[in-house]
Amino acid sequence: MWNSGSMSDADLIGMLIPSVFCIIWGIAQIIVSRKRKNELETCTEMVTATIDDASKIRRRYGYNYYYMLRYVWMDEVYKVQIKTLEPFGATGEETVIHIDPDRPKKIRLPESKAMSFGWLVMGIAILVVGFVWAVGAIGYYLMMG
């Protein structure tokens, strides 16, 4: 039966749990965005890489794509395995990647630039939802208390 009277502390905690989840999720999204931005700033050298191996593994909603990339930097051959959510080539094909000249095994794919901004926008949006939810829950608690 619906209690139209006062609201308990347990009710407030129950209302705040989703807002805390949104705030934590928003902060995590913003941190990932900053990491991607760091990759944009450090991975500046464009290199052509050959896809030595390409595979996809089914996940709950779609696929993860795994690639073994081979490229040459400063007369040294590097091999790096990466995971993406979208396919970008088949075994034997060449693709363009960006590497960090100081740490040649650190790479980024060209589409990372758009993803960085997307993660930032999503993080801020989720963070705002979390704060609005928390303020609304506390306001409701104070009005009903």
| Distance, CA of 41 to CA of 64 (rounded, Å) | 26
Within a domain: residue 89?
Answer: yes
Q: CA-based Rg of the chain, rounded to a whole angstrom? A: 23
Q: Which pLDDT belongs to residue 145?
A: 64
Cα-based distances in Å from 120 to 50, 66, 130: 31, 25, 15
Per-residue confidence (pLDDT) for residue 75, from 0 to 100: 92
In a domain, 4, yes or no: no
Residue 56 lies in a domain: yes
Residue 28 included in any domain? yes
Residue 86: is its pLDDT beyond 70?
A: yes
Is 2 within a domain?
no
Structural domain count of the chain: 1
Q: pLDDT tens digit string along 35-64?
A: 777 776 778 888 999 999 988 888 888 888
Q: Would you say how long the chain is, in residues?
A: 145
Q: Which of 31-40, 77-86, 125-134 has the lowest mean pLDDT?
A: 31-40
* Domain housing 25: 9-144
The verdict on residue 3 lying in a domain is: no
pTM of the model: 0.58
3-state secondary structure of 5: coil
Comparing 119 with 49, which gets the higher pLDDT?
A: 49
Would 22 be classed as within a structural domain? yes
pLDDT(91) > 60: yes
pLDDT at 1 over 50: no
Note whether residue 1 is domain-resident.
no
- The band of 74, judged by pLDDT with boundaries at 50, 70 and 90, is very high
Q: Tell me the pLDDT tens digit for each residue of 17-32.
A: 888 898 898 888 888 7
- pLDDT given for residue 78 in this prediction: 95
